[in-house]
Amino acid sequence: MENALPKGSIVAVVGSGAMGSGIAQVAAAAGYPVRLYDSRPQAVAKAIADIGKAYARLVEKDRMSSAEANLARERLCAAGSLEELADAAIVVEAIVENLDVKRKLFADLEAVVGERCILATNTSSISITSIAAPLRRPERLVGMHFFNPVPLMALVEVISGLATSREVAGIVYATAQAWGKDPVHAKSTPGFIVNRVARPYYAEALRLLLERAADPATLDAIMRDCGGFRMGPFELMDLIGHDVNFSVTQSVFNAYFSDPRFTPSVLQQELVNAGFLGRKSGRGFYRYGDDAAKPEPQLEPHRPAPAQVSFGPGAEDAMSDAIAQRLRAAGVQVIADAERSEARFHLQNTAIHLTDGRTATERASESEVRDTVLYDLLLDPAGATRIALARADQCSDAAYNGAVGLFQAAGFAVTRIDDVPGMAVMRTVAMLANEAADAVNQGVCSAAAVDTAMRKGVNYPRGPLAWADSVGIEQIVIVLSNLAASYGEDRYRVSPLLRRKLSAGARFHA
């Protein structure tokens, strides 16, 4: 394992925007002298002043001592030209996302810096191999992808192109750790880890909206309250900006030669065409402004609680066991019924299943139980405040209302979505796990790295592969297979690694 750059090593940062100034702030606070360069000298002066204010705020919050803040500010200085970066041990580039511009910068730097200087790019989407290709020594160029805002986000993707030396990647990894970050190694492929694996979080939500499963506020609430995500997909897209989010999706789609798994959404394209870019334009899926009221998610009215429910062995899962425990604690009699094997819960003649990727309507037809209701996946079934239900088209109002009353008795706010395959949380988690498994299968990163990246880079409540282990790899494969059968699309093809793990009876994490 390589060592981090020594504390006295000079860190040069090119670009004084939000990313560049954030990188400079973190490196200086970690004890490294930093030289910040930008083609606009006034921008560098402002960035250094803003970093000083950021240190002052940290002192006010007791997260940094006055002495530490003063020393960190002293380590920061402006560079008036690239020549002033000649003795840097590492140069981190954080300029415009343009291949030709980056190539020119690194060619200019290569003519200035020492032979052992590491060249790092903060690109979020451009091939590291392509950036390095024209260099005299491409082996010393590596991706060092930080996430915004840099001082707060822990993840750094350390990305190796085809020519990147293992030693250089190892030094950058260790240096990121010395800066207080959680780095992961990745291979230079489209989207790297996070921008690739995160696509289904947006794509499945957009498809659910297109199919009128529910409105954005309802789907966001389900993903937050049931799935444990910090932000729902629609509010997150509004925050990112639809122009940015749509562009990233297009970039990954094109880079993978139109793989249907990454197909952009016509709904999001329409928002971009209309200029409804989200928060920054005042309108996206939601309206913003002092007089804008955010719509409330759908909520089912109160229904009477049943006195008892049958609980069969079914396809055993810990989530249903936790729901049964909540019902018992609420005074509902949960009666074990070994003969009711096709579903975990039965209310008289109503079958209530955890979704497996089929619609409730399809399951009702196949089982010849017309009163069929499905419930969606929960991250924390013991503590979740909301649950999503879907009813078969054949299901009677009385049967559905009974199911609503059952889950309300367990302490859930009940939200209904239309009967779409896989519901919301389950299909999203299955697709995230599928994409993560494919990234591991193709050598982009390790299973540990992809889970760390998604937790630290986009604040997912659980890594996708850890989630697959928790739900059960067999269940994930079943859901994906049923989605593929329902839609008839290659979009839902199962990763070979998921099938291999299933066949071996193995998990991604011990």
310 part of the active site: no
Non-local (6+) Cβ contacts of 500 within 8 A are: none
157 part of the active site: yes
**149: cis peptide before it, omega within 30°?**
yes
Strand 118-121 and strand 308-311: pairing? unpaired
N- to C-terminal Cα separation, the chain: 23
242 part of the active site: no
Question: Distance between CA atoms of 456 and 145, rounded to whole angstroms?
Answer: 13
User: By three-state DSSP, how is residue 123 classified?
Assistant: coil
Question: Distance between CA atoms of 344 and 341, rounded to whole angstroms?
Answer: 7
Task: Identify the active-site residue in 9, 124, 481, 495.
Answer: 124
Q: In the numeric block, which tokens belong to residue 398?
A: 């009385």
Q: What amino acid occupies position 169?
A: A
Q: Is residue 382 within 8 Å of 322, Cβ to Cβ?
A: yes
145 part of the active site: yes
Task: Identify the active-site residue in 122, 195, 310, 320.
Answer: 195
Residue from 108, 118, 109, 112 nearest 139 by CA: 118
Task: Identify the active-site residue in 157, 204, 235, 435.
Answer: 157
Q: Is residue 34 within 8 Å of 11, Cβ to Cβ?
A: yes
Task: Identify the active-site residue in 145, 185, 242, 353.
Answer: 145
Tokens 């993707």, residue? 157
| 488 backbone dihedrals φ, ψ, rounded to 5° | 65, 35
HSE-CB for 444 with a 13 A CA cutoff: 24
Catalogue the active-site residues: 124, 145, 157, 195
